[in-house]
Chain A
Amino acid sequence: MESKNVILLVDDDELDVISVQRSLKKLDSEYELFTAYNGIEALEMLQKQVNEGVHHLPDVILLDLNMPKMNGIEFLRVIRADENLKHLKVFVMTTSGEEADRKTTEQLGISGYLIKPLNFNNNTKRSDSMDGFVQFHLRKILASKHLQ
């Protein structure tokens, strides 16, 4: 039986949240999207789900790095140290092109590091725009989930 994809989006930028929502709507896929605007909020959400039962934990976490209160790297460090959460699949989705950020997150354990496009050139391919980017990668992420 195919279960619904449960996605947790941790991003403080409302536009990114909307973009993900719109992209998911366009993809012909069953999903459930939770959103948190920073690391603390996301942790609380996960903790609540752990208390209710492991089945409700997200299949995929899309994690922004630059966030207030608790940033992506701190969040990743906390869940990797938590027995109940350390297996979670995390994709980093950030505007940071800093090599140090990529290294740190890869050492903590991630399934992918996606740099959000910052180009708005009308002439370039669709996948270079934010919506195109999100759709392209979400399709891949969700497909990899099905293949398991």
Chain B
Amino acid sequence: MKLATQIFLGFSVVIGISLTDSYVNYNLSQKVNRNTDYVAKSETIIRNSSRLHKSIIEMQSAFRGFLLTDDKAFLDSYHEGGRVIPKLFIEQRSLLLNSASQAAKLDTITKLHQEWIIYSNKLIEAKKSVKINPSLYVDLFENKLRKQVGKKINDRISLIFRAFDRAEYRLRESRRDALNHSVERTRTYSVIFLALTVFIGVLSTVYIVRLITRRIALMVNLADNISKGEFAVVKDDKNDELTSLSVSLNSMSETLDKNIKELEKRNKELNQFAYVVSHDLKAPIRGIYNVTQWIEEDLGNEVSPQMRNYLNIIPDRIKRMEDLIHGLLDYARISREKPLREKVDVNTLVKDIAELIIPEDFKIQTFGLPVLITEKIRLEQVFSNLISNAVKYSKSDVAGEIVIRCREVNQFYEFSIRDNGIGIEPQFHSKIFEIFQTLREKNAKESTGIGLAIVKKIIDDQHCTIGVESELGKGSTFVFTWPKH
């Protein structure tokens, strides 16, 4: 499966859960709102009921007060009840549309109250006209009031009110329970969904991160190995975006491996070739030299001066050939052999070389040459070639002088070898490091054109640099770097 698909799937699941969570929460909150409304409505009904009941009782009290005291002030309160109570009935009735049993109770109360109003109105009217018609009042008083007709109605009203309130209280309690329950459920669902979202989110993130990290680590490992020269390949049985990267890496690794092996083989062949060629070139010259010596030995004094002259040329040319072959051998050996690393006192090294190579009238000065651990033979080859060059290309009319200095540049020593010789024209500065390039005529016996090529190759092998600063007639300064370790 593609990584993008996997990531998409992970996010989809998380988003899906969140959406479900929101939907469920929305539904639950609707229910909570509904239940809150129910509870609030119930409370209003209870409040209204008590107001209604109170108003009815007050009206009854006023009625009794008037009958007993004949004080007209009671009638104000009575009429006030008569105005307010119907409104309260209507309001309460509108709240009970969904509750048939409670509505029925209220209707009964309404009916009873109206009965009572008829009864009380009659008595009040009779009481008001008691002076005109006392018998009516007495009749009513004796037949109704004395027989507790009103009281019975009122008792029934109170009874129904109590039943009504009890029922409404029960309803309110059950609705409050439902509200609490739905709030509780909303909370539980939210926690469960949150936990689920976090769990799946974290799980899929960890899974994808681990997947990618592991795969990338494999490739980093491969790249590391490549840089160390081990051309392994990574196994990848997945089929996603990273697979194409590993496929490219693998093919790069294989190509590099193949090319480097090929290159190593070529290099080896070339070195072998150079070695064999120069080695085999020596045998015939050795023969020529031997035969020349035998001729000289056997002929002795019979040789004419002219002939001796010719015979003397042969060893000179053989010497030159030998130098060339030696140069080639040395050149081929630089990469073929890895010399021993040992402690080298460069000061001593230079003195030993100078003793062997430079003539007595030459002056050599050294400043600040270090002691280091390195491939001694290679450093020796560099110095001996550069010093012998300084000697070869010295001015014939001036006493020779060589100054060798050293300074530290980061991980390297920078050596400079300055002479007061004939110098090199700037256009030849890069050419002198190429093999077989000599600025002297061919018959000059000292110059083979290999020395500086050897120096350059040794320094290249050390991943260092060499250069020359020089002007014709003003001496030359060769500057090269060498690793400290």
Contact = CB atoms under 8 A, between A and B. Distances in A.
Interface stretch (A79-87, A101-109, A117-125): A117-125
A18 B298 CA distance: 13
Contact of A129 (B279, B282, B293): B293
A95 B318 contact: no
A131 B285 CA distance: 15
Contacts of B287: 13, 15
Contacts of A120: 285-286, 289, 315, 318-319, 322
B283 A18 contact: no
Closest 10 CB pairs of A and B: A120-B289, A15-B287, A118-B282, A120-B318, A122-B315, A130-B290, A15-B290, A120-B322, A118-B286, A19-B290
A48 interface: no
Contact of A119 (B279, B293, B322): B322
A119 B321 CA distance: 11
Nearest to A15: B287
A22 interface: yes
17 contacts: A18-B294, A22-B294, A95-B283, A118-B286, A120-B286, A120-B289, A120-B315, A120-B319, A120-B322, A121-B319, A121-B322, A129-B289, A129-B293, A130-B286, A130-B289, A130-B290, A131-B293
A15 B290 CA distance: 8
B291 interface: yes
Given A15-B286, A119-B322, A120-B315, 11 more contacts: A13-B283, A13-B287, A15-B287, A15-B290, A18-B294, A19-B290, A95-B282, A116-B286, A121-B319, A122-B319, A130-B286
A121 B318 CA distance: 9
Interface of B: 279, 282-283, 285-287, 289-291, 293-294, 315, 318-319, 322
A144 to B, nearest CB: 26
A59 to B, nearest CB: 26
A18 to B, nearest CB: 7
A130 B286 CA distance: 8
A120 B319 CA distance: 7
A15 B291 contact: yes
Contacts of B315: 120, 122
A76 to B, nearest CB: 22
A109 B258 CA distance: 43
Nearest to B282: A118
Contacts of A19: 290
Contacts of B291: 15
A18 B318 CA distance: 20
A22 B293 CA distance: 12
Interface in A1-21: 13, 15, 18-19
B339 to A, nearest CB: 14
Contacts of A119: 322
Nearest to B323: A121
B332 to A, nearest CB: 13
A120 B279 CA distance: 14
A65 B205 CA distance: 73
A129 B293 CA distance: 10
Contacts of B293: 129, 131
A130 B297 CA distance: 14
A130 B315 CA distance: 14
A21 B205 CA distance: 91
Contacts of B283: 13, 95, 118
Interface in A102-148: 116, 118-122, 129-131
Nearest to A121: B319
A116 B294 CA distance: 18
A121 B287 CA distance: 14
B313 to A, nearest CB: 12
A121 B315 CA distance: 8
B15 to A, nearest CB: 73
Nearest to A132: B293
Given A22-B294, A120-B315, A130-B286, A95 B322 contact: no
Contacts of B290: 15, 18-19, 129-131
Interface in A69-98: 95
A68 to B, nearest CB: 14
Contacts of A18: 290, 294
A101 to B, nearest CB: 13
B67 to A, nearest CB: 147
A13 B279 CA distance: 15
Interface string A28-59: 00000000000000000000000000000000
Nearest to B325: A118
A18 B286 CA distance: 13
Nearest to A14: B287
B70 to A, nearest CB: 152
Contacts of A121: 319, 322
Contacts of A15: 286-287, 290-291
